[in-house]
Amino acid sequence: MKKQYVIGLDYGSDSARSVVVDVANGNELASSVKYYPRWMEGKYCAPEKDLYRQHPLDYVEVMEYVVNDALKKAGEGVADNVIGISFDTTGSTPVLVNKEGTPLALLPEFAENPNAMFVLWKDHTAVKEAAEINQLAARWSEDYTKFEGGIYSSEWVWAKILHVLRSDETVRKASFSWVEHCDWLPGLITGNQNPLEILRSRCAAGHKAMWHPGWGGLPSQEFLSELDPVLDGYRERLYKDTYPSDVAVGNLSKEWAKRLGLTTNVKVGVGAFDCHMGAVGGEVTPNVLVRAIGTSTCDIMIEEYDKIGDKLIAGICGQVDGSVVPGYVGLEAGQSAFGDLYAWFKHVLAWPIENILAKTTLVNDKIKTKLMQETMDAIIVELSNEAMKIPVEESTIVAVDWMNGRRTPDASQEVTGSIAGLKLGSSAPGIFRALVEATAFGSKAIVNRFASEGVEIKEIIALGGVAKKSPFVMQILADVLGMSLKVAATDQTCAFGAAMFAAVVGGAYDRVEDAQKAMGKGFEKVYQPNAKNVEVYGTIYDKYLKLGAFTESEL
C-alpha cells in the first residue's frame, strides 16, 4: 500500500512550526520551526500600551520556509504523497481586509501601519470596547455573550475590530470585512480569499465572535450598529455558516503547490485555534481537561450533548458545538499569562544586565555578548533550582497571576497582578516560587469553576513547552490541583492535532477520533500530587483568593 503523509502547521505567538506525519501510525518524519522575522525585531508592538500586531508577510514567509524545510528533511518522494494540510493559529487574531480579502497591510499604502495588520490574541488595546459590548449585551433582547461564558473579552475579535475602526480613519475607509488568522491561511493557499466565500472556522466564530445558530449566526446588525455606526454593514459582509475542522476548504492552488513543493491534489482543511487542535493532538476524550501550557494557557474539554443540555457555563471562553471534535460540545478556558509571567520576572531581574552590563567597556563586545546571553539563558533554570529547595510551608509570599489580565474564570483585562508578604529577607527564588504557585492557583480556579458548573474532570493532560521543560512547575501544579498530570509525548502537539485533521480532510480517516487512535503517541510522564503539599496549598489557595478579591476591588 502506498504511503500517505500529512502536514500540520501550528502558528504560535512567536513562531510557526510544521510537522510531516505518516497517516498510518502517526510517526513524525520531520519538523521545522521558524520565528516571525519582523515580530522578533519588536516591530509594530508597544508592550507598554498592550499593543501587539503581526505583519501578514511574517506568516507567509515562515510558512514557505517551514514546509519546504520539513519536506527536505523528510526525504525524497514524501512531497508527492502528501494528501492534506491543516492549520492552527493563535486566536482571536483578526485582520481587516478589502473586498478581495487582502489584509490591508499587504497593500503598499498600509505596509507599515499596525492597524492594518493582524491583531494578536494578547493585544489588550480594546478593553473599553469589550466593556461596551458587555454592557449592551446585558440589556439587549438576546444576550449574545451567553455561550461565551457571559463575559466578552478584549482578546476577542469584535472588541478588537471596533477599536481599530475607531482608531484609524484611513484603515476604516479601506476595509470591507475582517478575517481570523486561522481562516485566512487556508483561503490564501487554496486561491480564494473572498471574505464572502471563504469557509469560516466554527471554532473561531463560536468562541470569539458571538456566533451561534440559535440567533442565525453572528449578532444582528442592529446590535452591531448600536455599539457603533462604524460597524454598519459588517454583518452582511461576513458569514452565516461555519464549519468544523474535518471539512476541506479545497485543494492547494497551483501557485501555492509550487511555492510549497507539493501537488495540487493536497486537500486543505478548515483552520482552528491552536489549543483546540492541540487538545486533539493530546488525545482529548470526554471528562478530560487538556491544558496547553506556554506563554499563556488554554484549557480545553469536550462534552457529550446530553450532559451539557441547556446548561450555560459561566465565566469560560465558550461552549461551541464541534469546535474541538465534531460531534461534541467544545469547552474553552485559560489564563492570560503563564510562562509570560516567568518571562516578565526574568526581565525585571535582568534590567542591570540589559541596561548596565550592556554598556561596560571592561571586556570586549564578543565576551560581553556571550556573558549576557549565558546569564539570560540561566536565570529561569537557576531560579527554579533554588525555588525548589524552599519548603511549601516556608513559602510566605503570595502572588496573584493577573499581570496580563484574567482570561478565566470571568474575563477581565482591567485587573492587575499583585505580590504580598514580602520581607527584607525575601529572595528572588522565593518570589519566583510565589509566581509559579500563583499560576497554579489560577489553574485551580479554572478547574473549580468547571466543577461548580457541573462539568466533571476525571483526568488532566498537559501539553506545550512548560509541560515539557519544567518539572518544578509541573509538580507544583499537580500539588495545587491535587490531581495527577499526564504529559503528552508529542513535542509539537498543536501541529500534531492539525496533522490529524489533515488526515481526515485528506481522506485517510472518516472521523478525527479514528485519526487519534491510529496516530496518537500517548504520554511520556505522569506527575503525582504530594499529599502533604496538597493540604498546605489548600490553605495558601484561600489566601490567593482573598488577595485576588482585594486586588480586583481596591487596585
Per-domain boundaries in the chain? 5-282+490-521, 339-489+525-554
Determine the Cα angle at 252 with ends 247 and 258, to 5°.
160
Q: Say yes or no: do domains 5-282+490-521 and 339-489+525-554 share a fold.
A: yes
Residue 101 gets the label, from left (phi > 0), alpha (psi -120 to 50) or beta, of: left
* pLDDT-above-70 percentage for the chain: 100
- Mean pLDDT across the stretch 323-336? 96
How do beta strands 523-527 and 485-488 pair? Answer: antiparallel
Determine the Cα angle at 78 with ends 73 and 84, to 5°.
110
- Take residue 307 and report the three cell numbers written for it: 450532559
Task: Grade residue 283 by pLDDT with cuts at 50, 70 and 90.
Answer: very high
pTM, two decimals, is 0.91
The greatest distance separating any two alpha carbons of the chain, rounded to the nearest whole angstrom, comes to: 70
- Mean pLDDT across the stretch 265-269? 98
Q: List C-alpha distances in Å: 393 to 215, 364, 388, 515.
A: 52, 46, 12, 46
What digits encode the pLDDT tens for the residues 237-264? 999 999 999 999 999 999 999 999 999 9
Please give the Cα distance from 446 to 211 (Å, whole number).
24
Q: Does the pLDDT of residue 1 top 80, yes or no?
A: no
CATH superfamily of the domain spanning 339-489+525-554: ATPase, nucleotide binding domain (3.30.420.40)
> What residue has cell string 457529550?
304
Q: Does the pLDDT of residue 551 top 90, yes or no?
A: yes
Please give the Cα distance from 92 to 158 (Å, whole number).
10
Which residue blocks in 111-266 are alpha helix, DSSP H? 127-139, 157-167, 169-174, 181-190, 202-208, 221-227, 254-260
- Mean pLDDT across the stretch 196-210? 98
- Mean pLDDT across the stretch 426-439? 98
Per-residue DSSP letter, 200: P
- Mean pLDDT across the stretch 33-48? 96
What digits encode the pLDDT tens for the residues 467-526? 999 999 999 999 999 999 999 999 899 999 999 999 999 999 999 999 999 999 999 999
Q: Does the pLDDT of residue 159 top 90, yes or no?
A: yes
Task: Grade residue 294 by pLDDT with cuts at 50, 70 and 90.
Answer: confident
* pLDDT-above-90 percentage for the chain: 95
Residue-by-residue DSSP string for 478-498 = HHHHTS-EEEES-SSHHHHHH
CATH label, 5-282+490-521, candidates 3.40.50.10860, 3.30.420.40, 3.20.20.70, 2.40.50.100: 3.30.420.40
Closest to 206 (Cα-Cα) out of 268, 250, 160, 272: 272
Average pLDDT for the chain: 96
- Cα dihedral sign, 161-165-168-170: positive
